[in-house]
Structure 1
Amino acid sequence: MDGVTATGVRAFARIVARADGRGGTALPVLDGEGPLALRRTRASGAEAKVLVVGAMSGPLGGDRLTLAVRAERGARLHVGSAAATLALPGQTKDTAHYDVRLDVAEDAELHWLPEQLISAGGSDLYVTTRAELDDGARLVLREEQVLGRAGEQPGRLTSRLTVRIAGRTVLDQEVACGPGAPGGWDGPGVLAGHRAVGQMIVARPEFADRPMAARMLGECAALMPLAGPAVLVSAVAADALRLRRLLDEALLLLGR
């Protein structure tokens, strides 16, 4: 259950998608609480669509939010968000935590495409995204982080992304930015002065036989094959709009 404690809000949300046997996707579990409200929107063909709606401000300092998504065999699910997520300072100086767990079964497909995460000045947020795919699963996962609002210095933001396919880890990376992050985060080897950073994972069974070749996508993005049927696109940009364009162009290149 959700609740407010002296150190912040505790909230859990869960989505389960299941093939309905009629060529569509049902949502037998759609349960959100606190700041994680869930809304089903109009379906597109066999794909069910869900929006995460921010029902409260947050994440704030000390909050612990958890979102678990599972696409069962044969399901097609698209999860987005109604607006950007804004990490803000809270009444405590404790780090806020936002944990996302994605599970995709064989012959299921999940598109995890939330709007940007904005790290406001004074905030401190640790985000973990863990994707667990069965053999034969499909995934499109996009993460975008923006450091500070217009004219504002960012808070501290740490983001860890882990992807496992058929029990094998194909990606485990962590990026920390903002005050208190390890030195060099804003240097030429990491963000190079940019204020928006993003990554996209595309996992498809056919990549096992026809892997994508590594390539640069302009000056600020790169596509890299992973040690499994998946590719990683990493990009930096001056702002959220330019970052989204880079990632959208990469997805078109890979084919939707």
Structure 2
Amino acid sequence: MRSLVEVVARAGPGGRTVLPVVRASGQLAVRRTGPVTVHLVATAFGPLGGDDAEVRLVVEPGAVLRVRSVAAAVVLPARGDSPPSAQRVLADVDGDLDLQLEPTVVAARAHHVATVTVRLGAGGELTLSEQVLLGRTGEQPGRWTGTTRVLRDGRPLLHTTLDLGPGAPTWAPPMAPRAYASTTRVRPGPGVGTATGVDAVRLPLPGGWVSTAWGDALDRVARADADLHPGSRPAAQPVLAGVPS
């Protein structure tokens, strides 16, 4: 099944943000849940192998848009020889985009391909968070292939692809994490320095940073990633993201 979500955020009177376009079709619905917030809502199980979803976002100058989801997405395998399920996010941002969806859980035998492409204008700001868990409780991991591209005025700031799970060329013990989290923050101005944690790292970008963490438990991985955000309070105890509980 093919799904399409389209949201346009525009600066309105008095500094407000208006959303002249909020629409969706297929397995996804979109609802405005706050002055600058929309939530994606799954209307069917999945995605299943072969399903294709595209999310198109436009944030015009002076506008703010926060995009969330109401629950984790559980990727399921399809019967037979179906291709991987896919989700593409395409965002043109001249305002402020905050895109933080609930985790993606990839069930055994499923393969999900996720792509996020953000084209920032000169004054565009971005906060992007991704969290992935391979396999539900008590089952083998699925496979997730994720690509993130961030451009500023057509010039690349970040271009990374990560392939995790059975069948991925670089996924083999002892480097076979089942959980992954990443946050990207970009805004006009100077970047921040490099920082490291337990199975986590933050790297500078022009005008921002990208942090990643990996391990066996998603809650630990998400916390390790958050501990590297500038201004965050460090964890009281070490976060052993790579050690099973």
What's 1:238 paired with?
A: 216
Q: Does 1:175 align with 2:201?
A: no
Would the aligned equivalents of 1:86 and 1:120 in 2 still touch at CA under 8 Å?
yes
What's 1:70 paired with?
A: 58
- Identical aligned pairs, as a percentage? 34
* 1:217-240 deviation digits (Å, cap 9, x = unpaired): x212111012x2221101113222
What is the count of residue pairs matched by the alignment?
232
What's 1:116 paired with?
A: 103
Which of 16, 36, 41 aligns to 2:28? It is: 36
What's 1:102 paired with?
A: 91
Would the aligned equivalents of 1:11 and 1:34 in 2 still touch at CA under 8 Å?
yes
- For 1:234 and 1:206, how far apart are their aligned partners in 2? 22
TM-score by length of 2: 0.89
- For 1:161 and 1:104, how far apart are their aligned partners in 2? 15
Code of the residue aligned with 2:200 in structure 1: it is A
Following TM superposition, where does structure 1 have runs of at least 4 consecutive aligned residues deviating by more than 4 angstroms?
Answer: none
* 1:171-216 deviation digits (Å, cap 9, x = unpaired): 111111222211x32445xxx3432112111001122xxx211111
What SS does the corresponding residue of 1:205 show, helix, strand or coil?
coil
What SS does the corresponding residue of 1:150 show, helix, strand or coil?
coil
Code of the residue aligned with 1:234 in structure 2: it is T
TM-score by length of 1: 0.86
Which of 51, 71, 79 aligns to 1:83? It is: 71
Report the Cα offset of residue 36 of structure 1.
1.4
Would the aligned equivalents of 1:59 and 1:98 in 2 still touch at CA under 8 Å?
no
What's 2:131 paired with?
A: 144
Report the Cα offset of residue 167 of structure 1.
0.9
What SS does the corresponding residue of 2:122 show, helix, strand or coil?
coil
Contiguous gaps of at least 5 residues in structure 2: 234-245
* 1:75-108 deviation digits (Å, cap 9, x = unpaired): 0111011001111111342221111112111xx1
* 1:46-67 deviation digits (Å, cap 9, x = unpaired): xx00111111112111111111
Most deviating of 113-122 and 92-101: 92-101
RMSD: 1.7
What SS does the corresponding residue of 2:25 show, helix, strand or coil?
coil
Code of the residue aligned with 1:167 in structure 2: it is G
Would the aligned equivalents of 2:2 and 2:27 in 1 still touch at CA under 8 Å?
no
- For 1:120 and 1:179, how far apart are their aligned partners in 2? 12
* 1:102-159 deviation digits (Å, cap 9, x = unpaired): 2111xx1110000101110011111111111011211100011111111211122111
What's 2:147 paired with?
A: 160
Q: Does 1:197 align with 2:175?
A: no
* 1:13-49 deviation digits (Å, cap 9, x = unpaired): 1011111122211111100112211011123xxxx00
Report the Cα offset of residue 164 of structure 1.
0.7
